[in-house]
Structure 1
Amino acid sequence: MSAGQGNIPEKVIDSVLEHNDIVDTVGKYVHLTKQGKYMKGLCPFHSEKTPSFTVTPEKQIFYCYGCGKGGNAIKFTMEIEGLSFPEAVKVMAEESNIEMPEVQGSAVISVNPERERLLQAYEWSSKFFHYLLKNTEHGKPAMDYLRSRGFNDKTIDQFQMGYAPDSWNTLVQFLTKRSFDLEEMEKGGLLSPRSDGTGYIDRFRDRVIFPINDKNGRVIAFAGRVLGDAQPKYLNSPESKLFNKSRTLYNLHQAKSAIRKLRQIVLFEGYGDVIAAWEAGVHNGVATMGTSLTEGHIAMMKTMADEILICFDGDRAGQSSAMKNIPLLESAGIRIRIAVLSDGLDPDDFVRKYGSERFMSQIIDGAVSTTKFKLIYLKKNHILLEEDGKIAYMKEVLPIIAALPSSTEREVYLRELSSEHQLSYESLKQDCNLIRQTMQKNISDGDNFELGWNNGRHKKEKVSAPTLLPAYHTAERRLLSLMLQDVEVAQYVGERLGEAFNIDDHAAIAAYLYAYYAQGKHPDISRFISSLHDDRLEKTLSSISMMDTPQEWNVQVLDDYIREIHKVPQQLQIELKKEEMISAERSGDFLRAAQIASEIIALERQ
């Protein structure tokens, strides 16, 4: 049993790795294609257009040459799901039907007690608010409001909607009776401090409550919609130990199975839209709850889906917000379509006004490409009945069409513009080609050509040549690579070099590897990584594991590497002696300088 593993027996960790093949584990989130003995795909941890994320089935590890993340199946699960090592092992064990034993009368998985208390408080508070909504006179106005919005009892139960009464201390009393620490509850966002500093009051008052869940379905925050005229109209829990807005998507826990099946996410602006769309049959919908789309949201969505369908409000603000999110999603390499809502309606209004069937066929199935959406959006800025307005509109939209890499796509949009605005197709094509030529000349100063819409946001970075590592650094990496594959090599190196590697991380990896083999274990990179529990060492080890080091070795090769490694402290000693000799000469001590010179010669001979 190793420290840092949450008291999980090694046999459980070994069993989890045995039952969770790295290709299957990664394949749930990343589309992998075979390239020789490797599998390659786009990294789920950073934005890239050229696959640098590599999985090695033979060694059961992954490594990204772009961002440097690497490790085994457990490490991948930790990174992608935001879990600790014990939590990741537990999740993987449950999925593989591996029994998690109890250790010394206590649960194997270590937990954060304060976090667990907060989770329990939110769960109970959610049930309490739901009960007040459905079973008390206080909740009747809130129930009437929800029914007026078209939500039936089944939906109210499924989304666990509730009601926080118009009182200063209903929840305070509820939590006090259950012995929760009120200061902890205030830090967790359930309560607010009194203005005079003498205690706490309910944070949510006279509001319809929408519980916010993490991706595993646990309640981590609330969103409250006021019933009266109080401000703000919408109120979310503040960020806490449980709730991080930039990493949370409303309804992901219920939508994730449909998302993985369809490989598509429908992105809404608010929880009301998600719920109305769910009733209409859209079960892969999530929302950012009024906050801006973040890189955290995008990274999370990218691991689950190939396409994002943006379905924001049909008013100017909603369409403008959709427009702003296009370059963010495009730069992450995600395919995008946009739902176009007319008459300034939001998705919730549309479902109530026109019904589920029309919402699915017209809005969801009728979603358009980003280019088409830009053309529709920009049209609203111009009076197209006037010649000046028409010319100004063409000046805005032709660069968008010119930036498209496909000549077929360009022709489709140009013919559409020609027909709609009674303009010559040939003239439009000529103007488009001139713009395209200018773009190609300026491409080194601006965006990738396909992303011309970003208007210079992403300057092309100069790719510097890879840094050439010093000979001893390469020797240490190659030696460790061989040691990982063969116990005999590790024994040979251990006797002649020990931990005298010059790079600290290499010395630490060697020390762990000697200890690993001393326990009678066989070479297995995936299992060895699980014994490290150090992000930096895991990254370094994953990088070393990806080296194409031949498995065959002989003593001469090992001695050459060891000699190169031993040279470094000797070279350092020579440099220090040279400095000492110069200092002696400057001070006029020529006898001492001559002695040091002979010492330098002896060291160089060595």
Structure 2
Amino acid sequence: MGFYSEDIIKEVQERADIVEIISAYTSLQKRGNNYMGLCPFHTEKTPSFNVDVEKRLFYCFGCGTGGNIFTFIMKKENLSFPEAIRYLADKYHIRLPSTMDKELSQEFRERRKLLQINDLVAKYYNYCLFHTREGRNAISYIKRRGLTQETVEKFFLGYASPSWDGLIKFTRSKGIEPKELEKIGLIVPRKNSKGYYDRFRNRLIFPIKDITKNIIGFGGRALDASMPKYLNSPETPLFSKGDNLYGLSVIKKDSSKDVIVVEGYMDCITLHQHGFNQTVATLGTALTKKQAKLLKKYTDTVILSYDADEAGQAAAMRGMEVLAQEGLRVKILNLPEGKDPDEVIQDKGRKYFQTLINDSIDLITFKLNSIKKTIDIKTSDGKLKFLKQAIKVLAEIDNQPEMDLHVIRLAKELGISAESIKKEIKSKILPNNGYEYKKSQIRDNNKQFNEILQVTGIYKAERKILKLVLENEEAWGIFKEQLEPQYFTNKNTRKIADVLFKMFKKVESIDIPDIYNYLDEEGSKELSTILMETTEIKDEELIDALIKKVKYGYLKDSIT
């Protein structure tokens, strides 16, 4: 390990909240003393991911991935061990010796530096909003839009002055080179001469944060006639608008709470101010699969509240499909024609908007209504045409009670028996219920489990011995007197045994989360699996038999 001292590693590990960190990636629900949620490392529908707060460990019973807080960050952010330490230290404001930064990868150091620049720039814009003469125009705009001081602080709004080089001059005074600002899209190179100019000028600034609350980009609303009216950071090493959602960093992860998705910054901010705190915005782009996956970590149900114009409704239709494909329940909020959410809530108030939410329609109803607009269902021919298309929509439902509700409603509306509609639906979905389909579904659902090794008798004995030592340090005496790391024939149990021998030479007592700091990914996964097994060995004769089994395995392996 050898990059940071044991004391530093221990401090970071103890101060970093494992539930808080993991909650940024998946929604966790308290179950007894532990927390459960959907695994962030493989796709699943039933939660099998467990966080043990007391032991400061996580484990997935589905794919077998487990470890401590460093292991988690290393896997999710693709970091080395020292980088994970630095990442968490930055988050919890723990000072680390800068002499060790040379051990961090160039990519990590570069990203860390760019994030620090963004943080400084956001503070600069915020200062310009409240403490400059030009900022008064932005303050007046904010007041006209009805935003409170509390809301401005919550979203850390700022102001970019009309100057072509205000940001360049400020950052230069802080020792930041223009090339670094260019990397994160804050300045633009001049076309016909040397030098740069500020990208955002005379704009209200919206800092964009990722799920870990890092500022990764900015949005700007023009306060004059400049076009475009809204301007985002370009694609940068930190920011890709199709991978993020504005406001995601301030909403709660709660599967029981619906998340409202709007199009614009002001829509999102205004809804938050009026108490709709589970609102995010799409950063001016059509909903992407990555955004849908992000939303799935926060909720089970999404309400799309797009503008009522033709473009907004088209975007809603595309977004619904993307969200539904990720297993989210989707509802559509019908806004008055020509209005956006911000305008509606400003004109009609919170209660009216809550009524619109209550009246929002589900994805299937929205699709059926859209079909109905193009067909006259008052005629027999129209009814048959509509029914043909409606059957395709209803066949997409994989929830029987939900399907029954729609069938009953449709049968009543068309004056056709529910049984005949069900019969048509059944004939439509029958091909998807064949043997090959079921076989493929089973294969896909279990592909994560194919990686788990078949446990042999010797391998079982090695694991049981390790489990005994990890849970009962008194067994260490027997362990060190009769076994050595090389006796373990499985490469992963050998790694764990080797770490235990080295750690027990240094200290009398071992904290299990610390063991992960010395293991690679395979060793960490092995240790997690061992810890989650239920093994009770109290009889000394059984312990002796396990030790003999391990030794036998070693001799057998040596001979062959």
Structure 1, residues 3-56: CA drift from partner, whole Å, max 9, x if none? 355764465467559x9799x98999323657xx99765324433123333456
Q: Which is bigger in relative contact order (C-alpha 8 A, separation at least 6)?
A: 2
Aligned to 1:285: 279
- Mapping of 1:23-62 within 5 angstroms? 29-31=27-29, 41-54=37-50, 61-62=57-58
Query: What's the offset of the Cα at 1:502?
Result: 4.3
Query: What's the offset of the Cα at 1:301?
Result: 3.7
TM-score by length of 2: 0.78
Matched position secondary structure for 2:261: strand
The separation in 2 between residues aligned to 1:82 and 1:360, in whole angstroms, is: 42
**Alpha-carbon distance change, 381 to 479 in structure 1, aligned in 2, over 3 angstroms:** farther
Aligned to 1:270: 264
- Could you tell me which runs of 5 or more consecutive residues in structure 2 were left unpaired when the two chains were aligned: none
- Mapping of 1:86-101 within 5 angstroms? 86=85
**Alpha-carbon distance change, 314 to 21 in structure 1, aligned in 2, over 3 angstroms:** closer
Structure 1, residues 519-547: CA drift from partner, whole Å, max 9, x if none? 23446533422x32643432232123233
Task: Find 1:513's aligned residue among 495, 500, 512.
Answer: 500
Verify the 8 A CA contact 1:403 1:436 in the aligned structure 2: no
The separation in 2 between residues aligned to 1:114 and 1:26, in whole angstroms, is: 23
Does 1:199 find its partner at 2:185? no
Aligned to 1:498: 485
- Mapping of 1:43-192 within 5 angstroms? 43-54=39-50, 61-72=57-68, 75=71, 85-86=84-85, 118-130=114-126, 132=128, 138=134, 149=145, 151=147, 155-156=151-152, 158-192=154-188
Verify the 8 A CA contact 2:375 2:386 in the aligned structure 1: yes
Verify the 8 A CA contact 1:399 1:436 in the aligned structure 2: no
Structure 1, residues 143-166: CA drift from partner, whole Å, max 9, x if none? 666566555666556544444344
Verify the 8 A CA contact 1:384 1:390 in the aligned structure 2: yes
351-360 or 294-303: which moved more?
A: 294-303
Does 1:413 find its partner at 2:406? yes
Matched position secondary structure for 2:28: coil
Task: Find 2:530's aligned residue among 522, 544, 557.
Answer: 544
Matched position secondary structure for 1:126: helix
The separation in 2 between residues aligned to 1:289 and 1:471, in whole angstroms, is: 56
- Mapping of 1:394-413 within 5 angstroms? 394-404=387-397, 408-413=401-406
Task: Find 1:238's aligned residue among 226, 234, 240.
Answer: 234
Structure 1, residues 384-437: CA drift from partner, whole Å, max 9, x if none? 4565444333222234335545655444323433444xx2241x4312233225
**Alpha-carbon distance change, 398 to 459 in structure 1, aligned in 2, over 3 angstroms:** farther
Verify the 8 A CA contact 2:259 2:303 in the aligned structure 1: yes
Query: What's the offset of the Cα at 1:440?
Result: 4.0
Query: What's the offset of the Cα at 1:379?
Result: 3.2
The separation in 2 between residues aligned to 1:535 and 1:294, in whole angstroms, is: 31
Verify the 8 A CA contact 2:18 2:53 in the aligned structure 1: no
- Could you tell me which runs of 5 or more consecutive residues in structure 1 were left unpaired when the two chains were aligned: 95-99, 449-455, 572-606
Aligned to 1:424: 415
Query: What's the offset of the Cα at 1:131?
Result: 5.1
46-55 or 482-491: which moved more?
A: 482-491
Matched position secondary structure for 1:518: helix
Superposed CA RMSD: 4.6
Query: What's the offset of the Cα at 1:237?
Result: 1.6
Aligned to 2:556: 567
Verify the 8 A CA contact 1:402 1:432 in the aligned structure 2: no
**Alpha-carbon distance change, 25 to 252 in structure 1, aligned in 2, over 3 angstroms:** closer
Task: Find 1:525's aligned residue among 491, 506, 512.
Answer: 512
Query: What's the offset of the Cα at 1:222?
Result: 0.9
The separation in 1 between residues aligned to 2:276 and 2:231, in whole angstroms, is: 25
Matched position secondary structure for 1:86: helix
Matched position secondary structure for 1:341: coil
- The number of residue pairs the alignment matches comes to 545
Does 1:3 find its partner at 2:2? yes
The separation in 1 between residues aligned to 2:396 and 2:460, in whole angstroms, is: 44
Aligned to 1:347: 341
**Alpha-carbon distance change, 153 to 261 in structure 1, aligned in 2, over 3 angstroms:** same
The separation in 1 between residues aligned to 2:490 and 2:261, in whole angstroms, is: 47
Task: Report the residue type matching 1:70 in the other structure.
Answer: G
TM-score by length of 1: 0.73
**Alpha-carbon distance change, 251 to 72 in structure 1, aligned in 2, over 3 angstroms:** same
The separation in 1 between residues aligned to 2:332 and 2:64, in whole angstroms, is: 34
Structure 1, residues 52-86: CA drift from partner, whole Å, max 9, x if none? 33456896643224344212366557777999643
Query: What's the offset of the Cα at 1:358?
Result: 0.9
The separation in 2 between residues aligned to 1:332 and 1:242, in whole angstroms, is: 25
Query: What's the offset of the Cα at 1:459?
Result: 10
Matched position secondary structure for 2:308: coil
Task: Report the residue type matching 1:558 in the other structure.
Answer: I
Query: What's the offset of the Cα at 1:178?
Result: 2.9
**Alpha-carbon distance change, 411 to 470 in structure 1, aligned in 2, over 3 angstroms:** closer
Query: What's the offset of the Cα at 1:132?
Result: 4.6
The separation in 1 between residues aligned to 2:479 and 2:171, in whole angstroms, is: 64
Query: What's the offset of the Cα at 1:104?
Result: 7.7
- Mapping of 1:430-441 within 5 angstroms? 430-441=420-431
The separation in 1 between residues aligned to 2:14 and 2:369, in whole angstroms, is: 56
Query: What's the offset of the Cα at 1:515?
Result: 0.9
Task: Find 1:484's aligned residue among 443, 466, 470.
Answer: 470
**Alpha-carbon distance change, 208 to 14 in structure 1, aligned in 2, over 3 angstroms:** closer
Query: What's the offset of the Cα at 1:514?
Result: 0.9
